Structure formats: structure tokens, C-alpha cells
Amino acid sequence: MTSDQQTPVDLASGDLVFVGPPGVGKGTQAKALVQENGWVHLSTGDIFRDHARRRTELGRLAKAFLDRGEYVPDEITVDMVRERLREIPRNTRVVFDGFPRTVAQADALDRLLAEFGRHVGAIILLEAPREELLARLSGRARAEGRTDDTPEVIAKRLAVYEEQTRPVVSHYERRGLVRRVNGVGAVPDVTERLRDAADRGPG
């Protein structure tokens, strides 16, 4: 989306962070909300995959981590987010999808946002039972052919999420920013729940 299509929002409402395990539908849902509201979608997974496709230096480096289901090192990820944030007008809401994934990234995000005169408005935690995630991820492997959707890598990604990203939720829970949303159901029904959660305002 180009900047002239973006909708200015009340700065007080802040940016949104989508957190949730692999396969919960963060990407699909973030794209839907962003499109209907004129916000900006910032998916670190999409940016890494784009670099990998274009075989940039960052892409080659990131692909090794992606293919193993491991996280790309924090410093590399944070620098990439900083570069992307530079291009986004301050009065346009950003939906972070898949970032931050570690507590160090969450701390870095606070600093980055302050640097750009922005702040986190809410963390939206999208949840679904493990069996549902496994079914969706193996379906996606067939449909999209993602190299990180093989059974071994899927198991690894779920384990890495529990170990490294769960603490990010607790980190934001202490600040009263987390809104839990049930990710099970038809895509439009989940979008509706997310719309409500996003509209609830900060705090």
C-alpha cells in the first residue's frame, strides 16, 4: 500500500502487535484488518521471505534460520524493523505481525517506537489449541509449499514459540496491554473478534 492510501489515525490509539503461535492465522487476519482500515502491515516473516526470494545477503542469512524453524538473531531482526519503520508516516497505525518474538525484541520495540514518536496501543494474542495449529500448518505446507512447514520444522517452531515468545506475552500482561482473542472459527468470524479487540482502545 502506498502512503497516500493510508488513513491517519488518532495517535493516542497506538500501534497494534499481533502475537500468537505459528499457524494461528496472524498473517491472514492482520492483512484483513490492515486492508479495511488503511493501516500498515509489518510482518518480519514476510520481509525475511521476500529477502530470501530475492537472494539478498540478509535473505541468505535469514533463510538458514527459517528453514530450521529457529528465530533470526534479535539484532538483525530489530535493524530490519527499524529500516521499515523509517518509511511509515507517524500518523499511520502499524500492525506488527510476528514481531516482537523475544523479550529482547519487545524491549527494543519500545525504544524503536519512542525513537519514531510512536507507542504500543495493544497486544492482540490470537490463540488456538495445538491440534488445530498442527492441522492448519500441515494444510498450509500442501497449499503454499513453505519450506518451514514440514513436520519436524513445525514441531520446532511450536517449541520455540513456547520457550521464547510466551514470555513476551507475560511481559506485556504486566503492563495491562494484552487482549486475548479466540482464533478458532471461520476467518470472517475471527476478523470480527479482532475488530472488537482493536477498537477497545488502549489500556
Using CB under 6 A as the binding rule, whether residue 66 contacts ligand AMP is answered as yes
The footprint of ligand AMP on residues 86-125 (CB under 6 A) is 98-99, 101, 105
DSSP assignment, residue 3?
A: G
Is there a contact between 82 and 112 (Cβ–Cβ < 8 Å)?
yes
Q: Which one, 9 or 59, has the nearer CB to ligand AMP?
A: 59
**HSE-up of 138 (CA within 13 Å, CB side)?**
8
Using CB under 6 A as the binding rule, whether residue 63 contacts ligand AMP is answered as no
Q: Which position among 71, 88, 95, 120 is part of the footprint of ligand AMP (CB under 6 A)?
A: 71
CA-CA distance, 28 to 108, in Å (whole number)?
A: 25
CA proximity to 198, closest of 130, 120, 117, 101 = 120
How far is C-alpha 98 from the geometric centre of its chain's CA atoms?
3
Q: Which position among 69, 118, 125, 158 is part of the footprint of ligand AMP (CB under 6 A)?
A: 69
Residue nearest to ligand AMP (CB): 45
The window from 61-69, 107-115, 169-177, 179-187 that contacts ligand AMP (CB under 6 A) reads 61-69
Binders of ligand AMP: how many residues, by CB under 6 A?
A: 17
63 is catalytic: no
Name the active-site residue from 68, 84, 146, 156. Answer: 146
Least Å from the CB of residue 4 to ligand AMP:
28
Between 57-68 and 74-86, two packed helices, what is the crossing angle to 10 degrees? 130
136 is catalytic: no
Alpha-carbon distances, residue 54 vs 42, 50, 59, 142 (angstroms): 18, 6, 7, 23
CA-CA distance, 25 to 16, in Å (whole number)?
A: 16
140 is catalytic: yes
DSSP assignment, residue 151?
A: H
Using CB under 6 A as the binding rule, whether residue 48 contacts ligand AMP is answered as yes
Q: In one letter, which amino acid is 183? A: G
174 is catalytic: no
Catalytic positions, please? 26, 101, 140, 146, 157
Residues within the interface to ligand AMP (CB under 6 A):
22, 44-45, 48, 65-66, 69-72, 77, 98-99, 101, 105, 148, 157
